[in-house]
């Protein structure tokens, strides 16, 4: 790898990926430092085990770095691409190695729906993410569980039905209603 100057904290994600694509190791390091806590946190939230979460985050980074050159900004942000790859790998890891935690007391459920954030956390979260947390916490329990199972654990509607011991139609309905409310809340935030 080569080095080409340095990247400060202001460098855009796209600029870092461009640097990665041409083999600039400083860009690789800057990108990893920017996203490692985020990716590891997401992986940990899904798989629940720190060792497994590190494996997932490492694999996610390798894929992202290897494919930096073909990232298409027209299809979404670097952050979304990065988080989606991590989420999918974490879901795979959970499917293979560990049963899905479905208890309402599960750490991911709690961390996702809690509004008890430190001031630092709150400051670092964008308005839309803060709003999404509030909207998720406001959902009825059954809809929130269905949404978290689907989004964070990659469960299909039929799997949600089986896990929750409810008819498939009910599972679909909970997911649909939950998503609709989250979307509505997001639209209100955007408009305000």
Partner 1 sequence: MSRQPEESMKCDALSDDLIEFALGTLAGRSRSRVLDHLDSCAHCDAELESLAGVVDTMLWLAPEAEPSLGFESRLIERYRESDTRRLTVRRRRASVLAVAAVLIALLGIGVDAVLTTHGNSTNPSVTARPTSGRLTADGIVVGHVTISSGSPSWMIMDVDAGRLSGVVWCEVTFANGRVATVGKFTLSNGYGSWIAPIKASGSNVRSARLVNARGTVLAQATFATSPSLRDRSDPFEPTTRSTG
H helices of the chain, in order, are: 13-21, 25-47, 50-66, 78-97, 107-113, 119-124, 127-138, 141-151, 157-164, 168-191
Residue listed under structure tokens 């430092």: 33
To partner 1, the closest distance from the beta carbon of 103 in angstroms equals 17
- Cα(49)–Cα(121) distance, rounded to whole angstroms? 22
Give yes or no for residue 70 binding partner 1 (CB under 8 A).
yes
Least CB distance to partner 1 at residue 77 (A): 8
Minimum Å gap between C-beta 165 and partner 1 is: 19
Please report the sign of the dihedral spanned by the C-alpha atoms of residue 28, residue 34, residue 39, residue 40.
positive
Least Å from the CB of residue 5 to partner 1: 18
3-state secondary structure of 12: coil
Binding of partner 1 by 67 (CB under 8 A): yes
If the CB atoms of residues 32 and 166 are measured against partner 1, the closer one turns out to be: 32
Contact call for residues 121 and 111 (beta carbons, < 8 A): no
Cβ-based nearer residue to partner 1, 133 or 145: 133
Cβ at position 95, least distance to partner 1 in Å: 8
97, 52 contact by CB (below 8 A): yes
By CB under 8 A, residue 65 contacts partner 1: yes
Q: Which of residues 133-192 bind partner 1 (CB under 8 A)?
A: 133, 136, 147, 150-152, 154-157, 172, 175-176, 179, 182-183, 186
Closer to partner 1 at the Cβ: 87 or 145? 87
| Residues 107-126 contacting partner 1, CB under 8 A | 108, 111-112, 121, 125-126
User: What number of chain residues touch partner 1 (CB under 8 A)?
Assistant: 71
Residues in region 87-106 near partner 1 by CB under 8 A: 87-89, 91-92, 95
Q: Which of residues 16-45 bind partner 1 (CB under 8 A)?
A: 23, 25, 28-29, 32-33, 36-38, 40-42, 44-45
């Amino acid at each position: 790898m080569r080095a080409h100057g340095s990247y400060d904290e202001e460098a855009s994600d796209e600029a870092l990926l461009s640097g990665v694509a041409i083999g600039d190791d400083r860009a690789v390091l800057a990108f990893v430092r920017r996203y490692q806590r985020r990716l590891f946190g997401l992986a940990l939230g899904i798989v629940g085990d720190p060792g497994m979460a590190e494996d997932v985050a490492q694999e996610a980074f390798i894929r992202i770095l290897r494919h930096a050159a073909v990232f298409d900004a027209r299809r979404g942000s670097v952050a979304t691409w990065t988080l989606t790859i991590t989420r999918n790998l974490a879901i795979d890891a959970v499917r293979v190695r560990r049963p899905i935690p479905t208890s309402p007391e599960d750490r991911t459920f709690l961390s996702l729906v809690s509004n008890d954030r430190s001031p630092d956390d709150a400051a670092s979260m964008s308005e839309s993410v803060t709003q999404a947390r509030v909207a998720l916490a406001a959902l009825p329990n059954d809809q929130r569980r269905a949404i978290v199972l689907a989004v964070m654990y990659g469960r299909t509607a039929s799997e949600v039905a089986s896990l929750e011991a409810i008819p498939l139609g009910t599972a679909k309905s909970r997911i649909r209603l939950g998503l609709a409310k989250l979307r509505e809340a997001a639209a209100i935030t955007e408009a305000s």
